[in-house]
Amino acid sequence: MKKFRSNCFSSVCFRRWTNKSYAVFNSLRRCVTIGVLCASYTILVSSGRCFAQTDSAQLRIIDLRELEVSAAAAPDVFAPIGRAITQVQRVEIERRPAQSLVDMLSFIPGVDLRTRGPLGAQSDLSIRGSTFDQTLVLLNGINISDSQTGHYSLNLPIDMESVEKIEVLEGPAARIFGNNALGGAVNFITGTQTENVLRASFARGEYGFYKASLAATAQTRRSSHHLAVSETASDGYMHNTDFYNLTAFMQHKWNDSIVPLDLQLGVSNRDYGANSFYGARWPNQHELLQTYFGAIKSNVSVGRITISPAIYWRRNYDRYTLNREQDLQEPTFYRNFHFTDAYGANVIASSPNRFGRASAGILVRNERIFSNNLGNPMEEKDHREVRGHSDRWYNRTDRRTSTSFFLEQNMHVGKWSASLGALANHNNYTGNKINIYPGIDLAFRPNDMLKMYASANVAMRLPTFTDLYYEAPGHRSNPNLEPEKSAEYEIGASKTTGNSVLIVNYFYRTISDAIAWIWQPGEQISQSMNLTKVNTHGISLGGSWNVGENALLQSISAFYTFMDSYISTEYQSDYERSYLRHKLNIGVTHRLFERVSANWQITRQERNGGYLRYNSDTGIFDTEATPYDPFWKIDLRVYRQTERVNIFIEATNLGGKQHRDFGNIILPGRWIRAGIAITLKQS
């Protein structure tokens, strides 16, 4: 298949960090001054912060009584308080049949990935029936979600080689991360290696697939340094589904006894054919994305108080073309250009007290977009040239700043534990109003094996810039959208016995002023609007059993989730009505021969709602919605793993049946790949 490689963006290099007006420190200077940071330190030294404690229903067995949870700006040791968090450790990442972090998420119960492109080219992330804009994405506790649209939140500046752990927090997370975590949050964690490691891997497969990666970690007495580079590409499984991904990530930790520092830098380049991504009439769509990320964190102890400051910056460039073939002949053909900046600072403090542990913090985040389609019109003198296109200009822009302050107290009395607190948020989008988001988590542990818990939390989401301003022949913008607001209630229980765990939980969530892209009766044009209310409830249950590496059956797990929603309108919507109603995840790892094992991931999905089927011969959509077909998906990896070498062959969707996650986009059938990874370690 003939590929198109755009020269829209210059080559990837880290020179963009210096001598530019948008370098991270220059970007921060207007919003976060030294005075603000000093004032924050002064405010916070009187109390402390350990983030909302979480329960673990992970697929590998761990000790639920004490677990280090990193899904927070200030990691702390887990205390048995009522939240649900699923963890996937590095050993599972290496064994599962996946070549991208996005595919890895699909094996986690409660997570819904509506995939448009293969192997993470583009996927929408949902937790507990939320929409893709209602789920927060974090890297080492830093918010890297995209403010232009949630479609790009999984444009991660990291690859699987850098990730040591994945955490999925279910339910509202305003008390932990601020705005926009209505459905939950996903945290990708790096930098936990304690050895000198050099790892190289290579894989090939059908449809011209290849992946090559190199990662190295070096340790000294006072520092740790990690660098990883990965390249992935494919010709595509059908017309205009080719892709090319390049990521580079580095992390440096200086473990100074006075002021330790953690520096993270990452970049991602994605170039892919977007067959029917945003409309079935246009099978030749194309997107080119570049994402840059940087953060500096620290963790300082002053007496009994621990203070954790962080500053960060994320930039995303997006070039969308309606018809890549015509674009080659006519450079002025319909294209959208955007770039967004998100930068901010967090200061978190925590301290033990007579009741347990107190916490406080301040979170400041600024978001800005430049575009030829999204935002408010700019004066002509302020237009900015699109990088790499001297004939194209950014002529629209918008920006907003959000400031949050939280307080929380964790308590332990006998067999009872509690965490209660609130977050106060002010942002210039909602005017001068200050919104309060309280929450409480309770847990009761009658013995070492059993725990019962309950929680109630609220959250809010600001509309994305796409929600507010997107204009197209089939869609009208709505710059007057109100923020979404949610309240969620949960009860659950877990039981651990040696190497097994059983869990069950039930949640009920109500969202008011829910933002949806809807079609009113008799109209062919959609518009983003605030729905009156969306009520969702669901149940999760399941368990896992970890026998051991030497057993024939090494581990087995089974988790089932069910959800149901009530929407107080009959309008048609692409997302709110198409939630994942039933999901079953079964995982089995067993030995085949000596040092040869197999990992099976069996998934059954049944999606609510439907889509209007498009007839490419007539160019007409059906008038009646076609329901999404339920489907089984079986993925398998067979591997031989030693201390230094891991050889594998894997197949995704063994049954070979093509299916749909979103509209008319057909996903691939069986896809076979094989590869090798070589790891050299020095303790």
CATH of the domain at 91: 2.40.170.20
Domain that holds residue 530: 14-682
**Number of domains into which the chain is organized:** 1
More confident residue, 191 or 200: 200
Cβ pair 323, 274 in contact under 8 A = no
Burial class, 89, CB count within 10 angstroms (exposed 0-12 / middle 13-18 / buried 19+)? middle
Cβ pair 192, 166 in contact under 8 A = no
Q: How many CB atoms lie within 10 A of CB 134?
A: 26
Burial 221-232 (b: 16+ CB within 10 A, else e): eeebbbbbbbbb
In a domain, 9, yes or no: no
Whether the pLDDT of residue 13 is over 80: the answer is: no
Kindly state the average pLDDT of the residues 140-158: 92
Mean residue pLDDT across the chain: 84
pLDDT for res 521: 60
In a domain, 596, yes or no: yes
Whether the pLDDT of residue 648 is over 90: the answer is: yes
pLDDT for res 329: 58
Write out pLDDT tens, residues 207-251.
999 999 999 999 988 899 999 999 999 999 999 999 999 999 999
In a domain, 1, yes or no: no
pLDDT for res 203: 97
Q: Answer positive or negative: Cα dihedral of 131, 504, 164, 97.
A: negative
In a domain, 6, yes or no: no
Cβ pair 91, 174 in contact under 8 A = no
Whether the pLDDT of residue 168 is over 70: the answer is: yes
In a domain, 4, yes or no: no
Kindly state the average pLDDT of the residues 646-671: 92
Q: Which residues lie across from 105 on neighbouring strands?
A: none
Residues 363, 559: Cα–Cα separation, whole Å: 35
More confident residue, 577 or 673: 673
In a domain, 394, yes or no: yes
* pLDDT category of residue 179 using cuts at 50, 70 and 90: confident
More confident residue, 340 or 524: 340
pLDDT for res 194: 80
Write out pLDDT tens, residues 377-429.
999 999 999 988 888 899 999 999 999 999 999 998 889 999 999 999 999 88
Write out pLDDT tens, residues 444-485.
999 989 999 999 999 999 999 999 998 877 778 889 999 999
Percent share of the chain, pLDDT over 90? 56
Whether the pLDDT of residue 38 is over 60: the answer is: no
Whether the pLDDT of residue 69 is over 70: the answer is: no
Residues 671, 650: Cα–Cα separation, whole Å: 8
**Closest by CA position to 474, among listed 322, 609, 627:** 322
The DSSP-derived string for 434-450 is EEEEEEEEEEE-SSSSE
Kindly state the average pLDDT of the residues 175-185: 83
In a domain, 7, yes or no: no
Cβ pair 418, 411 in contact under 8 A = yes
In a domain, 420, yes or no: yes
* pLDDT category of residue 39 using cuts at 50, 70 and 90: very low
Whether the pLDDT of residue 638 is over 80: the answer is: yes
Kindly state the average pLDDT of the residues 631-656: 94
pLDDT for res 506: 96
